[in-house]
C-alpha cells in the first residue's frame, strides 16, 4: 500500500538526525541535487516575503579553501594556551570529509524584527535538512565561534551574518528515530 504524503513527511521528519562527517562516504553529491535541495530550502516561510536566507555552497576545491580558512581562523583567534593541534586538524578534516558544506547566512532586511529573519533562515535550513535526509544525505548544523570572523571570506554585506555551516555527505548509517521526551510534557491544551 503506497504511503500518503502525510505518512511520507512524518517518516522523514521522525528519522532526520544529525549525521557527522566521520560517517560520510566518498560518494559525490551532484551539483544538480544540491540545487534541488536548496530549492526546498527556498520555500521556507518568511514574513513580508523578505526571504532573508542566503547560502554559500562549498564543494570540490571550494572545500579545500574553506577547510584552510576555518583552521586558520581557529589558530588566529584561539589563545596559545588553549590551542589544540587536534582541534585544528579536525576542523580541516570535517570539511574535507564532507560532500558539500553550506555557509548559512541571514540577510537582515530592516523590514521585520531580526528574530523573524533568524527564524525564517532556520526554517530554510530545516527544509534543506529534511530534503537532504529524504535523499539519504546526512548533515548537521555547526556554529563554531570563528563564524564571527568569516564575513570577509564569505564576502558578506554589512546587513548579513553567518549563522554557521551545514555539513553534508552521503552515508551508510541506519535510520534512527528521535530521542525526545513525549509531546504531552510540552503541550497544554486549552479547550
Averaged pLDDT of the chain: 96
Report the pLDDT value the prediction gives residue 55, as an integer from 0 to 100: 98
Please state the pTM of the whole predicted model: 0.95
Query: How does DSSP classify residue 105?
Result: E
Residue 146 belongs to some domain of the structure: yes
Residue 93 lies in a domain: yes
Within-domain flag for 20: no
Q: Rounded to whole angstroms, how far apart are CA atoms 191 and 179?
A: 29
Predicted local distance difference test score (pLDDT) of residue 37: 98
Domain assignment present for residue 151? The answer is yes
What band does 31 get if pLDDT is binned at 50, 70 and 90? very high
Q: What angle do CA 110, 51, 115 make, to 5 degrees?
A: 50
Locate 181 and state its grid cell.
Answer: 521526551
Look at residue 27 and give its three-state secondary structure: coil
In a domain, 3, yes or no: no
* Full domain range(s) for residue 110: 41-173
- Total of domains in the chain: 1
Question: Which pLDDT tens digit goes with each residue over 35-63?
Answer: 999 999 999 999 999 999 999 999 999 99
The mean pLDDT of 129-155, rounded to a whole number, is 97
6 pLDDT above the threshold of 70: yes
Residue 52 falls inside a structural domain: yes
- Is there a domain that residue 34 lies in? no
What digits encode the pLDDT tens for the residues 54-101? Answer: 999 999 999 999 999 999 999 999 999 999 999 999 999 999 999 999
pLDDT band at 176 (very low <50, low <70, confident <90, very high): confident
Q: Predicted confidence band at 1 (pLDDT cuts at 50, 70, 90)?
A: low
CATH number at residue 157: 3.40.109.10
Q: Which residue has the cell 570539511?
A: 95
Amino acid at each position: 500500500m503506497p504511503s500518503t504524503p502525510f505518512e511520507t513527511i512524518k517518516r522523514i521528519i521522525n528519522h532526520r538526525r544529525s549525521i557527522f562527517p566521520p560517517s560520510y562516504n566518498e560518494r559525490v553529491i551532484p551539483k544538480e541535487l544540491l540545487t534541488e535541495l536548496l530549492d526546498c530550502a527556498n520555500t521556507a516561510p518568511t514574513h513580508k516575503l523578505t526571504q532573508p536566507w542566503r547560502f554559500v555552497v562549498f564543494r570540490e576545491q571550494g572545500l579545500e579553501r574553506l577547510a584552510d580558512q576555518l583552521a586558520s581562523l581557529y589558530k588566529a583567534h584561539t589563545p596559545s594556551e588553549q590551542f589544540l593541534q587536534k582541534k585544528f586538524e579536525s576542523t580541516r578534516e570535517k570539511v574535507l570529509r564532507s560532500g558539500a558544506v553550506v555557509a548559512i547566512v541571514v540577510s537582515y532586511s530592516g523590514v521585520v524584527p531580526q528574530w523573524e529573519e533568524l527564524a525564517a533562515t532556520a526554517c530554510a535550513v530545516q527544509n534543506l535538512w529534511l530534503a537532504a535526509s529524504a535523499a539519504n544525505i546526512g548533515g548537521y548544523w555547526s556554529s563554531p565561534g570563528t563564524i564571527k570572523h568569516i564575513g570577509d571570506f564569505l564576502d558578506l554585506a554589512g546587513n548579513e551574518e553567518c549563522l554557521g555551516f551545514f555539513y553534508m555527505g552521503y552515508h551508510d548509517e541506519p535510520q534512527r528515530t528521535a530521542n525526545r521526551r513525549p509531546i504531552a510534557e510540552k503541550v497544554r491544551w486549552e479547550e
